[in-house]
Amino acid sequence: MSTITTEQVEARVVDALASFGPDKSQIARSSTFEELDIDSLDLVELAQIVEDEYGVVLKGEDMKGLQTVGDAIDLIAGRAS
Amino acid sequence: MTGASKGIGAAIARALAADGWPVGVNYRSDRDGAERVVQAISDDGGRAVALEADVVDPGAPDELFGRLEEKFGSSVLVLVNNAGINRDDLTPSLGDEEWSAVIDTDLTAAFRLTRRALKTMLRARAGRIVNISSVVGLRANPGQANYAAAKAGLLALTKTVAVEVARRGITVNAVAPGWIDTGMTAEVSQELLAAVPARRAGTPEEVAACVRFLVSEEASYVTGAVLTVDGGLAA
């Protein structure tokens, strides 16, 4: 399996989050999930997308403490590498 | 539609097919029964496929959903958890095996299928899950501690999941049949029947009608509910 870069994870996470409602242009690393109106169920869905894509298993509990888009990207990229 | 080869499950499968749903008729061992249900649905102009799987198998949900998606070319947006067994005995002599078999089939399998179904339903922002519980989850019936615990567990599962996913347009409800005239309850005594205010057993079709409603568009604001179909037994 090839190496997954943080940029690739970022692009995938932004796409996934945009599919939950917020406009893509609003989504930055510093955006909080609260600002984007992304709820706990959205994060569980994001975890499923990440699992299907990268084989990284993230539990709802892992996602619970995440505040910003950057937090999620770093967690996923960290686990994927 | 799990456990759909006979009785209540077969009636539900036929009712949903009559509403235009393509139906997966799951069975574990009664292939002939499942084939008869599929044939009856086809004769009425509906679409159905018989799907063999033991719902206790942890791999069953993925297998069943995969085969359904392949057969009908669309996502599964309705799940009816009906597969169930009973192994009755009074608690002092109720064995571990009887306990586990009933909990595994009647409760754990429903949880696993629900978890799999939600994957698809959450993305679709739509879905209907109906769990077939039992009046004994609400009202004691001696000799059924295992079955009652599983069926009451199913009610708690129903309510919890309903609340978790309500904001995604997915509803999760339970139907709690009382004494229904099927193979499973053939030897219900006259004494028990006398406890039913309606003074008769219900029919599988009377249970199916409730499921048909809960699955329909009209029931879009009904979630976390338990609909008893018991001639007044639990009232």
Q: Digits of tens for pLDDT over chain B (235 positions)?
A: 999 999 999 999 999 999 999 999 999 999 999 999 999 999 999 999 999 999 999 999 999 999 999 999 999 999 999 999 999 999 999 999 999 999 999 999 999 999 999 999 998 999 999 999 999 999 999 999 999 999 999 999 999 999 999 999 999 999 999 999 876 555 666 777 788 999 999 999 999 999 999 999 999 999 999 999 999 999 9
Amino acid at A63: M
Active-site choice (A39, A42, A52, A62) = A39
- Which of A20, A48, A53 is the best residue to mutate to test the B interface, defined by the most B CB atoms within 10 Å of its own CB? A48
Q: Do A48 and B165 touch (CB under 8 A)?
A: no
Domain boundaries, chain A: 6-80
Residue A39 known to be catalytic? yes
Q: How far apart are CA B39 and CA A45, in angstroms?
A: 38
Nearest C-alpha in B relative to A16: B123
pLDDT tens digits along A10-54: 999 999 999 998 999 999 999 999 999 999 899 999 998 988 888
- Which of B120, B160, B168, B172 is the best residue to mutate to test the A interface, defined by the most A CB atoms within 10 Å of its own CB? B168
A4 pLDDT more than 90: no
At the topology level, CATH places domain A6-80 in 1.10.1200
Characterize B199-215 residue by residue with b for buried, 16 or more Cβ atoms within 10 angstroms of its Cβ, and e for exposed.
eebbebebbbbbbbbbb
B219 touches chain A (CB under 8 A): no
Identify all chain A residues contacting B168, using CB atoms and an 8 Å cutoff: 41
Predicted TM-score (pTM) of the model is 0.92
Nearest C-alpha in B relative to A19: B123
B166 touches chain A (CB under 8 A): no
Q: Do A48 and B119 touch (CB under 8 A)?
A: yes
pLDDT at B186: 54
Give me the torsion for CA of A5, A11, A14, A18, rounded to 10°.
-150
pLDDT at B188: 61
Domains parsed from chain B with CATH numbers: 7-229 (3.40.50.720)
A35 CB-near residues (< 8 Å, 6+ apart)? A26
A63 pLDDT more than 90: no
B168 touches chain A (CB under 8 A): yes
Is the separation of the CB atoms in B82 and B1 below 8 Å? yes
Amino acid at B140: A
Confidence of residue A6 (pLDDT cuts 50, 70, 90): confident
Characterize A46-81 residue by residue with b for buried, 16 or more Cβ atoms within 10 angstroms of its Cβ, and e for exposed.
bbbbbeeebebebeeebbeebebbbebbbbbbebbe
